[in-house]
Amino acid sequence: MRPIFYAQKSPKETDREISHRDLARKICADGIVLLENNGILPLKANTVALYGAGARHTAFGGTGSGENNPRHNVNVEEGLNNAGISVTTEKWLCEYDELFARELFSYKKRLKKGMRKVPLGEHMDYAADNPFYLPAGRILTDSDKTDADTAVYVLTRQAGEGADRKDIPGDYYATEDEIMLMRSIAERYKETILVLNVGAVIDLSFLDEIRFSAVILLMQGGMETGNAFADILTGKVNPSGRLADTWAYKYEDYPCADTFSERNPEKFQEDYREGIFVGYRWFDKKAVRPRYRFGYGLSYTSFKTVYSSCQNSNTEISVTAEVTNTGYVPGKEVVMCYLSCPENILVREAKSLAGFKKTRDLDPGESQKITIDFDLTDFAGFDNGRHQFILEHGDYIVYLNDTPAALIDLDADAVTEKTEPLSLSDRNIDFILHDKNQRKIPDGLDRVEIKASDIGCLTHEYKVPGFERSAEIDKIISKLSYKDMSRLLTGRTYFGPFRHRVFGAVGYTTSKLFHKGIDAMPMADGPQGLNLTRVSKKPWHNIYAIPTLPESIRRKNSAISEDSNGKELYYQFCTSWPSETLVAQTWDVECARQLGAATALEMHEYGVVFWLAPAVNIHRNPLCGRNYEYYSEDPYLTGMMAKYTIQGVHEKEGCFPTLKHYAANNLETKRNVSSSNLDERTLREIYLKAFRIALSHEHLEAVMCSYNKINGIYSALNYDLQTKILRNEWGFKGVVMTDWVATGHHESLDELCCKAGTDLIMPGFPHIPSKIMKAYKKGLISGDDIERSARRIIKFALESHTAKN
């Protein structure tokens, strides 16, 4: 087996790196949301006083498998310097560095001590459960006031995989020290700008007491965070980001705040009692005013959006409008379309996002006509009792942003899709909301009429899927025993004699069948780019140093040198993109497509076949540790962003995106043992919807199952999810892989995966093939179950770009 190395031998920056870095900066700037501005921004001053943990220790992304490892991350201070803005607070920042180093040292000592008591293999969970909370830094006295009129304070939070966030100071809340510091800054400077360098929603109640001239939601923007921030601050880029989540006044305003994750008295049962009322759906229904609503964001200019028309071809609706820049600087506007559905049997959300469009950069006075298209059937409600999606008769109100624009009048109920009952648990979920909306149909709107008799009904054939067939697949299969196939169903762990040397790959498919014509396929984590090591001597997995530490101090293998000490060094410089939430905040599917296409180029460059991204779990609660890795609280926005990212990846043949984590993986603490309990309607309308939108069926792509149980059955073994819904209903033809070590513990049995429709067990351990064979011999799984999955994997192996090397 001839090994193939993909990494480069020189640390020199390439043209590809430079152009992807520019793209990362553009996407980041397009997703930053301006929350408040008293007119101070764009900043005219070229001197600022800079404070806060995130000034130098900027969080570029969260922690865990979604981390990445670019050549260089631009922090906020560097971004300001690059933009020609001088920072007057060198002394405070250097003192902070010392404080930070001291706190970190003692934290590491505490962590090490604690870890001695933890069984091997649970160290990552332990570290995630005991995160390093960033110290605030010294409170200002009068003598600290520097020669600048404007201060910038960067509030930073870090979270990630393995543990949920906590509703405590230092995490969801600002600490007393942080509040005192912010107060002391605001008192001493004429203007103070607050920058939120966070992965997800935090409490902002200190805004009610401390005066800020502007608030910028920077989020975690990947390697170009600092430059993109400076672009927004100076007005080089006019902010056009809009929130992808609802920011509440208080944590308790979110649904199930008192029982989410660690607050749950029933540790292993997470009941989705809010049903479909997640995010803005909940706030609208309960009439709770949020601090910042979903879709909110300011600009340095103003826009006027005028509705033009609403037309239809059967259920396909097209809404057109004209957007004019009525201000004084160029800028982009986001137009959103919402739908309010009639309620006869089903209780519906007050309104839900049905479409959106971002304009091009419009000059002052310039207009653009935009069209938002959607299919009404995609917004049918699911009737649990009758197992069908239904559009109920009556008036559907189409909103353009907040304003009612048109009515869609459906003359009778229309069943749009019939499904077979799922084997859900009989756990009784005690729903919180039952009330119907107080709808008033506005007068004088354009009216579109649809006849129920013109709407077709989708039906499905529920059967065990057939074999993937082609002359080539058949030929290879004919050479394989079931034993061989069981090897194919088992991934390879991080170590071993691989043909493809991809440093930092998080797994591979087996290379043991190379002599039979099946090549191994390397996989790299995402979604903020390819999570590969930068410099390597050996093809080792990039074991995470210490999770939940800020990126700036986490990386071990950071030295980039040409000095090989007699060993060959390999370099891989992947782009670190903005977090998915920030990408969603662009409300621009083109950004998502470009990100996907650029990542596929890097997959080609470094020999990656499966990119373990995008991730489309819904922001059910702000405390989910991994929210930064997911797009939004809204399934439509989430699905569209993922769909275009996938489309981008497909622009390069033989590169496979992997949509994860399927499904209802909405918490991290106890994710391996907890059951997400939800009714079928909630599952389908909220938690599966993004997956359905994103999967294209025509292309090769993969799905990664989640760790959790869904209504008591582990996702990997859940036939309803992996076969009935994914394959029978949605026509998915790709490979389903497990999450890493999602099986092989509790009742999550490796050997039964293929029967449920989960093809590939990752990362795979050497004893698994014999478990599969034993199950086969006992008749627990059939030869066809094994062969079906094997054929799917072979199809991918034949199409992978590395197979051609």
Nearer to ligand BGC, 506 or 649 (CB): 506
How far apart are the two ends of the chain, measured CA to CA in Å? 12
Closer residue to ligand BGC, CB minimum distance, 296 or 611:
611
Strand partners, 370: 321
Binding site for ligand BGC (CB under 6 A): 65, 161, 506, 525, 612, 660, 739-740
Dihedral pair phi/psi, residue 98, rounded to 5°? -65, -45
Distance CA 209, CA 263 (A): 28
Does residue 150 sit in helix, strand or coil?
strand
CB of 398 or CB of 506, closer to ligand BGC: 506
* Cβ-based nearer residue to ligand BGC, 506 or 549: 506
Instruction: Write down the least CB distance from residue 617 to ligand BGC, Å.
Output: 10
User: At closest approach, how far in Å is the CB of 102 from ligand BGC?
Assistant: 32
- Minimum gap (Å) between residue 406 Cβ and ligand BGC: 41
Residue 524 beta carbon to ligand BGC: minimum distance, rounded to whole angstroms: 9
Query: Cβ of residue 335: shortest distance to ligand BGC, in angstroms?
Result: 33
Q: Which residues of 267-287 are buried (b: 16+ CB within 10 A; e: fewer)?
A: eebbbbbbbbbbbbbbbbbbe
Task: Give the whole-angstrom CA distance, residue 555 versus residue 539.
Answer: 17
State the maximum Cα–Cα separation within the chain, in Å, rounded to a whole number.
Answer: 81
Of 150 and 548, nearer to ligand BGC (C-beta) is 548
Close Cβ partners of 185 (under 8 Å, ≥ 6 residues apart)? 49, 51, 140, 151, 153, 192
* CA 389/CA 499 separation, integer angstroms: 48
Nearer to ligand BGC, 296 or 707 (CB): 707
CB-wise, 418 or 541, nearer to ligand BGC? Answer: 541
d(CA 627, CA 201) in angstroms, rounded, equals 9
Q: Give the neighbor-by-neighbor strand order of the sheet with 303-313.
A: 303-313, 316-325, 367-375
Tell me if 533 sits within 8 A of 67, measured CB to CB.
no
CB of 64 to ligand BGC, least distance (A): 7
For ligand BGC, the closer of residues 135 and 160 by Cβ is 160
Decide: residue 421, CB within 10 A, 0-12 exposed, 13-18 middle, 19+ buried: exposed
Q: What is the DSSP string of 432-486?
A: S--PPP---PPSS-EEEEE-GGG---B------------HHHHHHHHT--HHHHH
- Residue 24 C-beta: closest distance to ligand BGC, Å: 21
Which C-beta is closer to ligand BGC: that of 756 or that of 762? 762
Instruction: State the nearest-atom distance from the C-beta of 611 to ligand BGC, in Å.
Output: 10
How many Å apart are CA 173 and CA 46, to the nearest integer?
Answer: 32
Establish whether the linkage from the previous residue to 614 is cis, with ω within 30° of 0. Answer: yes
Alpha-carbon distances, residue 739 vs 124, 496, 601, 720, 785 (angstroms): 16, 20, 25, 18, 20
The CA radius of gyration of the chain, in Å to the nearest whole number, is 26
Element (H, E) at 203: none
Structure-token pair, residue 353: 């996002």
Q: How far is the CB of 763 from ligand BGC (least distance, A)?
A: 7
Least distance to ligand BGC from the beta carbon of 798, Å? 24
Closer to ligand BGC by Cβ: residue 416 or 738: 738
Between CA 436 and CA 343 the distance in angstroms is 7
Q: Which is nearer to ligand BGC, 151 or 649 (CB)?
A: 649
Residue number with CB closer to ligand BGC (295 or 625): 625
- Identity (one letter) of the amino acid at 786? I
CB of 663 to ligand BGC, least distance (A): 13
In whole angstroms, how close is the CB of 584 to ligand BGC at the nearest point? 18
| Cβ-based nearer residue to ligand BGC, 63 or 728 | 63
Nearer to ligand BGC, 52 or 547 (CB): 547
Is the separation of the CB atoms in 786 and 794 below 8 Å? no
Residue 5, Cβ neighbours under 10 Å: how many?
Answer: 15
Shortest distance (Å) from residue 708 CB to ligand BGC:
11
Cis peptide before 661 (omega within 30 of 0): yes
* Residue 670 falls in which region: left (phi positive, over 0), alpha (psi -120 to 50) or beta: left
| Cα separation values, 280 from 247, 269, 632, 680, 784, Å | 9, 24, 11, 20, 46
Q: Could you tell me the smallest distance in angstroms from the CB atom of residue 596 to ligand BGC? A: 17
